[in-house]
Amino acid sequence: MLFETLDTFGHEQVVFCHNKDAGLKAIIAIHNTVLGPALGGTRMWPYESEEDALKDVLRLSRGMTYKNAVAGLNIGGGKAVIIGDPAKDKSEALFRAFGQFVDSLGGRYITAEDVGIDVNDMEFVYRETQFVTGVHQIHGGSGDPSPFTAYGALQGLMATLNKKFGDEDVGKYSYAVQGLGHVGMEYVKLLKERGAKIFVTDIHKDRVEKAVADFGAEAVAPDAIYDVDADVYSPCALGGTVNEQTLPRFKFKVICGAANNQLSTDAIGDEVVRRGILYAPDYAVNAGGVMNVALELDGYNRERAMRMMRTIYHNLTRIYEIADRDSIPTYKAADRLAEERIAAIGKLKLPMGRGQTRFQGRIRS
């Protein structure tokens, strides 16, 4: 059953990590390393069963292959999960034991933070392995990726406006922004700087008040965001908010935001097209975060990171070209772009390491 699943998803390697003394139960999944070493975060979650954990890591690692490929990075896809409650089960020993497993893969898998893990946990992982990104800035880490993600999302937005309306004048259009966290608030700031009309919502009242006071946004109740008469819906909170219940309420012409997994199902993605709404594929729009950590691999530089965010504009434009070329929805076109790139680079049969990211490990400080 396990090998059948791996066959369906196309994984290269799955590593089960166990250390009884440290209380570690983790799974590392390397999905694809054609473009380069597999990069993807480690998630800590109290999974109800080991099967749930396995399913999650297989799904997430495959997603990273697509995300990294569309982002144009010389990086493959991987992910890790630690089974445990982040509120109760964290310890130095646990993260160091995990770091030893990451190290044993010799750089085929490079880890980073994900849900349930913070930079302090990564410090322990870093004591055991150099194959880690998202460490403290004192070690050459890149710090909080959110401003980059927001700026990258703005580039994706411009390409999407251009496709839909024939111009990329952000200030000409109106926006409904859901979620004013690390990414959402910065995104609202960027919209405001360009003179846009902005509606905002969040379940935290103080964040809404800040967006109103600082950026002249108009506040909307959390559930009312779907009814706003705006040109663009920008989900920057949860996944699955474009679904059977919300979509019929949309007057939006464009969906473009930073949240992950915005479409509840593929069928909803098809319905979005039927309604004449242009959907900017989430993982292409929000790639700024992974681009930023990927830059740590050959020496982080903030200016280079900002320049790299601008490539998101071209990635989105390419996705829209593929959607037109093959008459497919944009969410499928993003996957196709990734698959075509992996297939083309795979055929080059580059000698190991050439043309790929060569991460020899972080220089220890």
Active site amino acids = 79
If you write DSSP's letter for every residue of 239-261 in order, what string do you get?
S--BSTTTGGG---SEE--S-SS
Give the per-residue contact string, 51-90, with ligand NAD (x = CB under 6 A; - = no). Answer: ----------------------------------------
Residue 146 binds ligand NAD, judged by CB under 6 A: yes
> Which CB, 71 or 180, lies closer to ligand NAD?
180
146 CA to centre of own chain = 11
Going by DSSP bridges, is the β-strand pair 76-83/109-110 parallel, antiparallel, or unpaired?
A: unpaired
- Find the part of the chain contacting ligand NAD (CB under 6 A) among 38-46, 131-139, 143-151, 212-220: 143-151
Q: Which of 198, 195, 182 is nearest to 234 (CA)?
A: 198
Q: Which is nearer to ligand NAD, 31 or 43 (CB)?
A: 43
Q: Give the pair of three-digit tokens for residue 53.
A: 């954990």
CB of residue 239 vs ligand NAD: minimum separation in angstroms?
A: 6
What is the H or E stretch that residue 44 is in?
strand 42-45
What amino acid is encoded at 256 in this protein?
C
CB-based contact 52:74 (threshold 8 Å): no
* Residues composing the chain: 365
Site for ligand NAD in 182-221 (CB under 6 A): 182-184, 201-204, 207
* CB 247 within 8 Å of CB 271: yes
- How far is C-alpha 7 from the geometric centre of its chain's CA atoms? 24
Contacts with ligand NAD: how many residues (CB under 6 A)?
24
Residue number with CB closer to ligand NAD (269 or 289): 289
Could you tell me where the DSSP H helices lie in the chain? 2-9, 50-70, 92-104, 119-128, 146-165, 182-193, 205-215, 266-274, 282-285, 288-294, 302-309, 311-326, 330-347
Site string for ligand NAD, 164-183 (x = CB under 6 A): --------------xxxxxx
CB of 269 to ligand NAD, least distance (A): 17
Q: Which amino acid is at 108?
A: R
- Which of 238/343 has CB closer to ligand NAD? 238
Residues between 281 and 310 that touch ligand NAD (CB under 6 A): 286, 289
Residue among 94 and 230 whose Cβ is closer to ligand NAD: 230
Q: Which is nearer to ligand NAD, 111 or 178 (CB)?
A: 178
Closest-by-Cβ residue to ligand NAD is 181
Q: Does 258 bind ligand NAD (CB under 6 A)?
A: yes
Going residue by residue from 227 to 246, which x/- string records binding to ligand NAD, judged by CB under 6 A?
---------xxx--------
Q: What is the C-alpha separation between 11 and 77, in angstroms, rounded?
A: 10
CB of 312 to ligand NAD, least distance (A): 12
Residue 16, judged by CB atoms within 10 A of its CB (0-12, 13-18, 19+), counts as: exposed
Q: Which is nearer to ligand NAD, 284 or 319 (CB)?
A: 284
Applying CB under 6 A, among 97, 259, 272, 305 the residue interacting with ligand NAD is 259
In contact, 202 and 208? CB cutoff 8 Å: yes
What is the closest distance, in whole angstroms, from the C-beta atom of residue 348 to ligand NAD in the complex?
A: 29
* Positions in the binding site for ligand NAD (CB under 6 A): 145-146, 149, 178-184, 201-204, 207, 222, 236-238, 258-260, 286, 289
